[in-house]
Amino acid sequence: MTDSALDVAARIARGDSTAIDELEVCLARIRQHNGDINAVVTLDETGARAAARAADARRAAGGALPPLLGVPMTVKDAFATAGLRTTASHPPLAHYVPATDATVVARLRAAGAVLVGKTNLPELAATPQCWSPLFGPTLNPWDTRLTPGGSSGGSAAAVAMGFSYIDPGSDIGGSIRIPAAYCGVAGLKATENRIPRTGHIPHLPGGRRSVRHLLSFGALAPAVADLQTALAVLAGPDGLDVEVPSVPIQAVTPPARPLRIAWWDEFGDLPLCQRTRAALARTVATLQAAGCVVERRCPEGFDVRKAWQAYGWIAGTEIGLGMPALARRLLAVMGRFVTRDQAVAHAFVQGLALDAQRYSRALNMRDRQLRALEGLLKSWDCWLCPVASTVAGPQGELVWWRRPPDIVVDDARLPFVEGAIGMVTPFSLTGSPVVVLPAGVEDGLPVGLQFVGRRWQDEALLATCADIERVLGARPVPPRALTTDRWI
């Protein structure tokens, strides 16, 4: 198992290591491997060394230490970093240098984390691949012929390779969960509006905000304990994002009973590849053998197709409101070629019409799906589901004027959008907290599964997932990473 962020912080706090030594280990890994996978696109060695020396000075001075003192972190290039290039892989922002940090960056720095650099993403975090028009593709650290997923593909690849120990993520349609699953790391998508979006691109700097639903924030890290710390650091109002309520971090007492885990594997007509199906079956069996109550259940009234439709309508409307009118109309015209079997994409194109009645209908559909899911989770600690139909697939550049390639699942072919995000968008729609955990390696590739919890009960979900992580065992490490020192 690799070190976790908290392992590093504990070594520094005990005096067994220093922040500068821990940073140099990560920089050595970046020098050795980043050329192969292109996860870190802006490196700040000078700033990182200065921050690491300051962390060591703080430790030497004594007194209470912040929870992530000296821990190397990377930051998805969608988050503003003061004095350091922030592009969101958007060519007009190629030379944009913000004056202030995004809230999540400021909070991680205040918690002692040392910023090493920025990680790659697709343009404006818009696709579940990781192909940047500025920096090119990030490649999967397990197999460089494959995608790491997106949009937080650079983040997941960096954490998987030990370039850093934590990277904040954003997720509107699986952007934390898919890369975590494809790269074999842990990921948290917190409850919608639990973590402020201040300083995240999109929206463009100085632009108006149009997306009011679906988008959540969180982190990618080696272990659940790191995600628990990240939530405690990142959550809560910042005085700028007015939709973030004051919900204090809750202490969770483990229940004096076995864990109750519902699971499900049917999302419309989306198939599961053999690797994913095998990992899911093994996970269910392992949890049952450990004494957990595990049953195949679906919330009464939960309709995946309705969820896809509502998600597409809301996403199309809110994203469309933030687009230039000409670009939106052009995309809507091109969308006439999107067939109804492409359920999510078809609904998204319909949403671009900015029909208020349709938008209101979608929000009411969202309410029904949320009630159904919350109803199930009153009796179960979490709902276990696949993240995607398949493990990481071929890398490819996605452009709006060309239909993306189908996703191949064993002998079946799926429309790209549905195959990539059809199993994650229902929980973007409901705004539920979700944790992704690695569930082993099948034929050389990691498989991740998602664990869904009740809204605003992120702490309880993370506590449940910490127990599940202990049952499932150590997370997998990409073979190429094992050629680097300091893996245990």
Catalytic residues: 76, 151, 175
Length of the chain: 488
Dihedral sign for Cα 459, 72, 196, 209, please. negative
CA distance 180 to 436: 7
Backbone angles phi, psi at 32, to 5 degrees: -75, -35
Tell me if 178 sits within 8 A of 420, measured CB to CB: yes
Q: Which two tokens stand for residue 174?
A: 């699986």
User: How buried is 305 (Cβ within 10 angstroms: 0-12 exposed, 13-18 middle, 19+ buried)?
Assistant: middle
CA distance 228 to 186: 11
Q: Is the peptide bond before 151 cis (omega within 30 degrees of 0)?
A: yes
Beta bridge partners of 115: 73
CA distance 282 to 263: 13
What 3 state SS string does 113-131 have? Answer: CEEEEEECCCHHHCCCCCE
Pick from 134, 115, 166: which is nearest to 38 by CA?
134
CA distance 313 to 311: 6
CA distance 262 to 453: 11
Dihedral sign for Cα 163, 165, 171, 173, please. positive
Q: Which residues of 77-93 are buried (b: 16+ CB within 10 A; e: fewer)?
A: bbbbbbebbbbbbbeeb
Pick from 109, 148, 439: which is nearest to 272 by CA?
439
Phi-psi region of 122 (alpha: psi -120 to 50; beta: other; left: phi over 0): beta
